[in-house]
Amino acid sequence: MSDVSWDDVRLEFPVAAETVYLDAAAVGPMPNFLRDAAIRAFTERQRPWSDAGVKIRARAQAAFGRFLGVDPGAVVFLANTTDGINAAANALDWQAGDEVVVHDRDFPSNLIPWLRLQGRGVQVRAARSEDGVLTESAIEHELSKRTRLMAVSHVFYQSGFRIDLAALGQRLHRDDILLAVDGIQALGLLQPDLTHVDFYSGAIYKGLCGPFGLGVFYVDPSVADRLTPDRVGYGSLNNPAMPWDGDMPYRAGSQRFQAASVNYPALHAAADMLEYLEAIGFERVTERILELAGRALARLAELEGIRVVTPRDRRSRLGIAAFQVSGLEAEAVAAALSARGVRVAARDGNLRASFHIYNNDDDIDRLVQAVHAVAREERG
Ligand SMILES: Cc1ncc(COP(=O)(O)O)c(C=O)c1O
């Protein structure tokens, strides 16, 4: 399938025939074959004695393992990205005076679980981004001898800026600082380099175009064995005997976080989508998304009164093209674009067009024409 045409891919996504959908960074639209996966999964449940659950969990772990470049046994399924961030934040043995560094404009789910640690005497320091870009020096400014962990999004939801996980992780590990990554804005779109990442959390309803209610969580094996999971159940322990004496021999590695059953129908969707993207070629998918967003950024930058926010350098972005229309509120522009059949998001002062493999150059033309018309109209 590596030679599949993008026109054929587009046909799998009914949304593409209906509207110019540039909002996968909010919710990825479901392709036909994933809707069919749900029917398959629920049909399986009509015979609940089968081992279908065990099989689909293993298949999904294997698919995520290949995408993330990690051991499938280290992949855990939780409810969503936020769930994984909380699992990480609550599992470490925090000491009063420990410090955590966050990105001041990160998505709330990657701030609130860390900020709550202040109640345990942890100090949270915010590295300040400029125009949505978090620089090395802004991070360096907040690091200290007390820093134990930095939490950051791989791709920032508001500006589309992509941080270099390998470089950041290497820098932090030099001082034994852990790196926790919110990966949801890149999951399915770009294989992350997790060599120097300790925690990774995402969900399948954006880039993987799946249903809500399934998160993927990874912990580096060298870290996982030191952690006390905040959620425990029959899946967490090595020894199924009841720990009446309070002694909890947790399962090795990240599986200690897999306390119980998971969302099996959603696992079908995740495995099917990952295998579909893999058959196209993960790198080819990333290339396509980078190209579409790059073309949109270049075209928007040529328009009068438009300020492009997302960095143009390919290594510092992915599928998001964020911009502003001078003198206009982002929400008003997003509503006017929607009325013209172009769906983008307004996020924290920016307009955010986000691209996926079902988009094409016609969508970019329609976006640029609509932005041009709205900007001109509103200026009178
Ligand atoms: C960067 C980022 N993190 C977390 C979330 C929330 O994800 P979830 O619903 O999977 O917890 C979002 C949703 O928009 C997001 O953009």
- What is the C-alpha R_g of the chain? 21
- Tell me, using a 6 A CB cutoff, whether residue 157 lines ligand 1: yes
Q: Tell me if residue 123 falls in helix, strand or coil.
A: strand
Find out whether the beta carbon of 86 lies less than 6 Å from any atom of ligand 1.
no
What CATH code is assigned to 34-278?
3.40.640.10
SS3 of residue 45 by DSSP: coil
The pLDDT, as a whole number, for residue 241 is 78
| List of residues 6+ apart from 241 with CB closer than 8 A | none
Is residue 1 very low, low, confident or very high in pLDDT (cuts 50, 70, 90)? low
Tens digits of residue pLDDT in 339-349: 999 999 999 99
Domain 6-30+281-379: give its CATH architecture: Alpha-Beta Complex (3.90)
Binned at pLDDT 50, 70 and 90, residue 198 comes out as very high
C-beta 158 within 6 A of ligand 1: no
Closest atom of ligand 1 relative to the 202 alpha carbon: 10
pLDDT for 380 = 64
Question: Which atom of ligand 1 is found nearest the CA of 182?
Answer: 3
Domain boundaries, the chain: 6-30+281-379, 34-278
What pLDDT was estimated at residue 2?
66
- For the chain, percent of residues with pLDDT exceeding 90: 91
pLDDT at 185 over 80: yes
* Residue range 292-322, pLDDT digits in tens: 999 999 999 999 999 999 999 999 999 999 9
Supply the mean pLDDT for the chain.
96
3-state SS, residue 273: helix
* SS3 state of residue 95: coil
In a mutational test of the pocket of ligand 1, which residue from 80, 105, 109, 154 has the highest number of ligand atoms less than 8 Å from its CB?
A: 109
Identify which of 115, 163, 174 has the alpha carbon closest to the alpha carbon of residue 138.
163
Residue whose CA is closest, atom 2 of ligand 1?
107
**Per residue in 239-298, pLDDT tens?**
767 888 888 889 999 999 999 999 999 999 999 999 999 999 999 999 999 999 999 999
95: Cα separation from own chain's centroid: 29
Q: Which of 218, 219, 211 is nearest to 264 (CA)?
A: 211
